[in-house]
Amino acid sequence: MFDTFFPDKYVASTYVINFEKLYENGFRGLVFDIDNTLVPHGAPADKRAIELFARLKAIGFRCCLISNNQEPRVKMFNEPIGVDYVYDAHKPSKKNYLRAMEIMGTDTDTTVFIGDQLFTDVWGAKRSGIPSILVKPIHPKEEIQIVLKRYLEKIVLYFYKRSLASEKKVEKRHNLL
């Protein structure tokens, strides 16, 4: 039941993802949420985010930001980064995930989504057929509607981690045979 919301991978931060490995594995497009995925909510692109996108472009990735925020917020964040973006995306609606892939010239086999929320970011990616990487939120200060969703996310993440532990036990058992 909860697996509808399970990410394909869960990591501490966007900045610890092995993007070189993703590229080696055939991924060419990266779709990012902005707030609490790349910077704290409402913050401009910082040095770390600017350097990350320069690195991603050097590797050969096409990147697209997809945000439920309005254009002024997304445009302000994107100015020093210079990638494609979709604003007012209505995540978890599939429409703009598909649009992001169209913009980048990628498909579900060559695109990865990175975001911090299960019920918008991950669920939208899953509904669109895109693998997803969930990251822990950068900053605890969030809008009240997100705070409420975080409580529900904790329940889903509990079952996600339990399923991973169960998979590891099965793998261990098979390795012994």
**88-115 per-position pLDDT tens digit:** 999 999 999 999 999 999 999 999 999 9
* Local structure of residue 65 (DSSP, 8 states): E
Place of tokens 């320069």: 54
170: confidence class by pLDDT, cuts 50, 70, 90: very low
pLDDT at 176: 36
Report the mean per-residue pLDDT for the chain.
Answer: 89
On the question of pLDDT at 74 being above 60, the answer is: yes
169 vs 68, which has greater pLDDT? 68
Contacting residues for 79 by C-beta, under 8 A, at least 6 apart: 45
Supply φ then ψ for residue 29, to 5 degrees: -125, 135
What is the torsional sign of CA 88, 91, 93, 94? positive
Can you give the pLDDT at residue 165?
Answer: 72
Contact between 138 and 108 under an 8 Å Cβ cutoff? The reply is no
5 — pLDDT class (breaks 50, 70, 90): confident
Class of residue 84 by CB neighbours under 10 A (exposed 0-12, middle 13-18, buried 19+): middle
The H-or-E segment that residue 169 falls in is helix 144-176
Strand-pair partners of 64: 31, 84
Measured in whole angstroms, the distance separating CA 174 from the mean position of its chain's CA atoms is 32
159 pLDDT exceeds 60?
A: yes
| pLDDT for 19 | 98
Dump pLDDT digits (tens) for 110-155: 999 999 998 899 999 999 999 999 999 987 665 656 666 666 787 7
With a pLDDT cut of 70, the percent of the chain lying above it is 86
**Mean pLDDT, rounded, for 78-83:** 98
**pLDDT band at residue 174 under the 50/70/90 scheme:** very low
